[in-house]
Amino acid sequence: MDRTMTFSLGKDREKEIREILLTVYKALEEKGYNPTNQLVGYILSEDPTYITTHNNARNLIRRIDRDTLLQTLVKYYMTK
């Protein structure tokens, strides 16, 4: 039997992910990178070297599972 899996994050976790993404985005900007391109590279490859170590951004982004990150971004985009 094929079942559709469901995925749900609590509001607190979504808020934490948003804060992490904003911190990482800002750190990438501060170091002169294109944050969108770097984040896409990270999401596609899960290679942490796409993210700067500035302001602990690399360690922060690694706290978010890639599937969770994608789910959060899609949900945010689709609800706007």
Any idea of the CA torsion for 12, 17, 22, 27, to the nearest 10 degrees? 130
Predicted confidence at residue 11, as pLDDT, reads 79
Condensed to tens digits (0 to 9), the pLDDT of residues 11-33 reads 788 889 999 999 999 999 999 99
Query: Do the domain assignments include residue 43?
Result: yes
Query: Do the domain assignments include residue 70?
Result: yes
Largest CA distance in the chain: 50
CA 24, CA 52: separation in Å to the nearest integer? 8
Query: Do the domain assignments include residue 62?
Result: yes
Cβ atoms within 10 Å of 52's Cβ, excluding its own: 21
Tally of structural domains, the chain? 1
Query: Do the domain assignments include residue 6?
Result: no
Query: Do the domain assignments include residue 2?
Result: no
User: Domain residues for 17?
Assistant: 11-78
Query: Do the domain assignments include residue 3?
Result: no
Query: Do the domain assignments include residue 40?
Result: yes
> DSSP character for 6?
-
Nearest by Cα to 52 from 34, 32, 27: 27
Query: Do the domain assignments include residue 30?
Result: yes
Q: Which residues contact 77 (CB under 8 A, 6 or more apart)?
A: none
Judge if pTM exceeds 0.85: no
